[in-house]
Structure 1
Amino acid sequence: MPRPHFLFRSLAAIAALSAACAVHAAEGPDVAREIERLYRGGDTTLAFQRLDVALAAQANSPRLRFLRGVMLSETRREAEAITVFERLTQDYPELPEPYNNLAVLHAARGQLDRARELLEQALRYDPAYFAALENLGDVFVRLAQRAYEQASANPRAEPGLQRKLKLARDVGAR
């Protein structure tokens, strides 16, 4: 399953996201950096307050909206984060990062088929997007594990199936 640590790495994607959204150059990269610094420094409340102020002034900023989704995800406000990332995919369908983060949240809920679809969508927009590629691999491992578990419930299951199931579980546990 995609691991939540990819959400942490996704903050690094904010720079790429803002480069992809050059039309929003007035959104001030320093604002997002300052909010991220506060957040990473442990001042979550102040970071969210500053982010709310920045979003009030720049409601359509994909960079700030993405940062909000990441912060919500990391503070275990998954339902709110899902809403943020879904809206980003609707408003900026060409940006792969929101699809990736949305996929991580769905995978954490056990919605592996939806996670796979979202990761494949991210990769249509950026075939070399490392985090999405790795997350897709993790989803495929979990899907394989699920299929092997279902197959092993059959009394006619071959002995080799148990080896495959163990391997999938071992890989999925890493």
Structure 2
Amino acid sequence: MSLRARMPLVAAITAAFLFAGSAGAQNDDYAEAQKLFRAGQHAQALERVDSFLKGNAKDARARFLKGLIFTEQNKTADAIKVFNSLTEDYPELPEPYNNLAVLYAQQGQYDKARNALELSIRTHPSYATAHENLGDIYAKMASQAYDKALQLDKANTGAQTKLGLIKELFSGSGRSTKPAAKADTAAKPAVVAAATKPVAI
């Protein structure tokens, strides 16, 4: 059983609030990178965000966008590296932790996903999406435990019932998962699941 194709990691805080913008001509590169990202032109968006980052290497918004671009390009290792770096430089921001959780969950690394979500919640205790995603991770971990119990004892009706309830819980949830997407847009962070993607801008 897998969690919803995309576990919702929705942030309640807007990107403008979390990621302070930089002024100047280079901001045009950032704005254009966002526009290209939204249009699905990820390679061009990456070029623009890299151009912006040359003069603003520590800009959280642009680095976050770069992580989202890598995620959309299925460059998971690069995306994880970007989001990890953001958590080191800006440990007070919950969204990078949230997006890490999405990526870890996609890889089946549920302990790492859980830890990332717990850090997200620690930085922002009212981050409802992180709480929901944490519940989804616990459900996924429970599903694995019930599966293992049934492998060891196929007659275990308690485990069968509980596993069935978890599968039913996620079978009809037409939600799509996306990691926390912010950066001057009120995009909502994404959901964690087997086919989860980080939140996009």
- The structure carrying a bigger helix percent of its residues is 1
Letter in 1 for 2:50: D
Match of 2:35 in 1: 37
Letter in 2 for 1:144: A
Letter in 1 for 2:79: A
> What displacement does 1:13 show?
5.0
Q: Which runs of 5+ in 1 are unaligned?
A: none
| Percentage of identical aligned residues | 42
User: What are the superposed Cα offsets for residues 56-102 of structure 1, whole Å, 9 maximum, x if unpaired?
Assistant: 01000011101110111112111100000011111111111100001
Match of 1:112 in 2: 110
2:143 to 142, 145, 148: 145
Match of 1:158 in 2: 156
| Whole-angstrom distance in 1 between the partners of 2:140 and 2:74 | 22
Instruction: Confirm or deny: 8 A CA contact 1:116 1:136 kept in the other structure.
Output: yes
Match of 2:125 in 1: 127
Task: Sort the Cα spacing of 1:172 and 1:143 in 2 relative to 1 into closer, same or farther, 3 A.
Answer: farther
Equivalent runs, 1:42-61 vs 2, <5 Å: 42-61=40-59
How many residue pairs match? The answer is 168
> What displacement does 1:122 show?
0.2
Larger mean Cα displacement after TM superposition, 59-68 or 154-163 = 154-163
Match of 1:171 in 2: 169
Over the residues paired in the alignment, what is the CA RMSD in angstroms? 2.5
SS in structure 1 of the partner of residue 152 of structure 2: coil
Instruction: Confirm or deny: 8 A CA contact 2:101 2:114 kept in the other structure.
Output: yes
Larger mean Cα displacement after TM superposition, 35-44 or 113-122 = 35-44
Task: Sort the Cα spacing of 1:97 and 1:43 in 2 relative to 1 into closer, same or farther, 3 A.
Answer: same
User: What are the superposed Cα offsets for residues 93-122 of structure 1, whole Å, 9 maximum, x if unpaired?
Assistant: 111110000110001000001100110110
> What displacement does 1:25 show?
4.5
Task: Sort the Cα spacing of 1:31 and 1:59 in 2 relative to 1 into closer, same or farther, 3 A.
Answer: same
Instruction: Confirm or deny: 8 A CA contact 1:104 1:115 kept in the other structure.
Output: yes
Q: Which runs of 5+ in 2 are unaligned?
A: 174-201
**Higher RCO (CA < 8 A, seq sep 6+):** 2
